[in-house]
């Protein structure tokens, strides 16, 4: 039997080699986080309909193959915005994909690193669901920004968060967080409040009106709100305004790299906003490689909005 402190060190070394930073928490923290989220709803700070919509991803769940979960490993991986090129009838259009959307390579790399350590020691590990931002903050990995995004030292908000559960006892302990959960640089800075295109970021506090966020509109089907200025569109999905102007991202934000290009025929199909199952297999696989297939019913609408903004 490998001592838990040795196993814990090996996990840390493996994740560091995979380009990640992490924190550990006992599984007993998860009910506490769900209580915090429920209290935010009860206090009217979080829209209950939104938590219901995202209930599956916000509720803690670990695959059955792990057995009795003892430790939650929260992992943060650098995630820069990327660029995808589409060929429209009137010319090419480069669209920005914000951080975190292209996520599969990062979390799979972390999972392989964890399997490489925990598997030979006789333990199981799997990716889990849950309120991962709360988990990262309460386990000491991150701090909230005024824009309700989380910031990790050395990465800013340009970070992908994932949670993994394991039946290994890695000696994780939880100590109730004292003091502010928000970055110390936020109180004197209100850049994100001033540049938010929909006004969903409050002047004070860290809980945004998520149902008014441009990211929410970009990810959901339907018409844009009547009062939404077309000039606010800046990303294929999501929104980059608050992150791009945040001083805490000053040293971490890089120019977007082109990661994929869709030809004229592929772009025409994307503009039809078809559901994933109605896409040609090759196109669906190409979108899936970018973790964008689940947004196929809004990508065409969003592209049209970006093109209209470009032409004004």
Residue-wise DSSP of 248-273: GGTTT--PPEEEEEE-HHHHHHHTTT
Of 56-60, 131-135, 279-283, which gets the smallest average pLDDT?
56-60
* pLDDT at site 52: 86
117 Cβ partners below 8 Å, 6+ apart? 7, 10, 11, 14
* pLDDT at site 181: 84
95 Cβ partners below 8 Å, 6+ apart? 83, 84, 85, 86, 235, 236, 302, 303, 306
Read off the pLDDT of residues 201-236 as tens digits, 9 standing for 90 and up.
Answer: 988 866 899 899 999 999 999 988 888 888 899 999
> Smallest Cα–Cα separation from 131: which of 30, 38, 49?
30
Average pLDDT over residues 6-16: 96
Of 76-90, 93-107, 140-154, 170-184, which gets the smallest average pLDDT?
170-184
Average pLDDT over residues 167-190: 85
Which of residues 53 and 96 earns the better pLDDT score? 96
Does residue 112 surpass a pLDDT of 90?
yes
Which of residues 56 and 306 earns the better pLDDT score? 306
Residues above pLDDT 90, as percent of the chain: 74
- Alpha helix (H) ranges present in 131-275? 132-138, 191-195, 214-219, 241-244, 264-270
Q: Assign 178 a pLDDT band (cuts: 50, 70, 90).
A: low
Average pLDDT over residues 66-85: 96
170 in helix, strand or coil?
coil
* pLDDT at site 206: 67
Does residue 310 surpass a pLDDT of 80?
no
* pLDDT at site 266: 98
* pLDDT at site 312: 60
Average pLDDT over residues 123-129: 96
Provide the residue ranges of all domains of the chain, joining segments of one domain with +. Answer: 4-310
* pLDDT at site 73: 97
Does residue 278 surpass a pLDDT of 70?
yes
* pLDDT at site 176: 75
* pLDDT at site 159: 96
Q: What's the whole-number average pLDDT of the chain?
A: 92
* pLDDT at site 1: 78
Residue with tokens 């701090």: 143
DSSP annotation of 296: H
* pLDDT at site 230: 84
* pLDDT at site 19: 94
* pLDDT at site 179: 63
Read off the pLDDT of residues 19-57 as tens digits, 9 standing for 90 and up.
Answer: 999 999 999 999 999 898 888 888 877 888 888 888 888
Phi and psi torsions of 247, nearest 5°: -60, -30
Residues above pLDDT 70, as percent of the chain: 98
């Amino acid at each position: 039997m490998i001592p838990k402190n040795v196993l814990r060190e090996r996990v840390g070394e493996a994740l560091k080699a995979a380009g990640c930073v992490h924190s550990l928490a006992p599984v007993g923290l998860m009910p506490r986080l769900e209580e915090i989220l429920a209290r935010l709803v009860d206090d009217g700070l979080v829209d209950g309909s939104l938590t219901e919509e995202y209930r599956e991803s916000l509720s803690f769940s670990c695959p059955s193959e792990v057995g009795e979960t003892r430790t939650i490993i929260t992992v943060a991986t650098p995630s820069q915005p990327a660029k995808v090129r589409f060929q429209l009838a009137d010319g090419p259009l480069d669209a920005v994909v914000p951080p975190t959307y292209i996520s599969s390579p990062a979390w799979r790399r972390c999972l392989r690193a964890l399997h490489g350590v925990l598997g030979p020691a006789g333990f199981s590990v799997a990716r889990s669901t849950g309120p991962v931002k709360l988990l990262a903050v309460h386990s000491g990995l991150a701090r909230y920004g005024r824009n309700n995004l989380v910031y990790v030292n050395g990465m800013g908000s340009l970070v992908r968060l994932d949670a993994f559960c394991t039946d290994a006892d890695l000696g994780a302990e939880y100590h109730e967080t004292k003091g502010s959960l928000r970055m110390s640089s936020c109180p004197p800075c209100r850049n994100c409040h001033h540049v938010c295109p929909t006004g969903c970021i409050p002047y004070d506090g860290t809980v945004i009106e998520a149902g008014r966020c441009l990211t929410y509109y970009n990810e959901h089907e339907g018409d844009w709100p009547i009062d939404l200025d077309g000039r606010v569109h800046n990303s294929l999905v999501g929104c980059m305004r608050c992150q791009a102007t945040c001083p805490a991202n000053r040293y971490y934000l890089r120019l977007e790299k082109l990661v994929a290009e869709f030809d004229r025929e592929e772009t025409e199909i994307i503009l039809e906003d078809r559901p994933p199952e109605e896409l040609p297999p090759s196109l669906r696989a190409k979108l899936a490689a970018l973790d964008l297939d689940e947004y196929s019913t809004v990508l065409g609408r969003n592209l049209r909005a970006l093109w209209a903004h470009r032409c004004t």
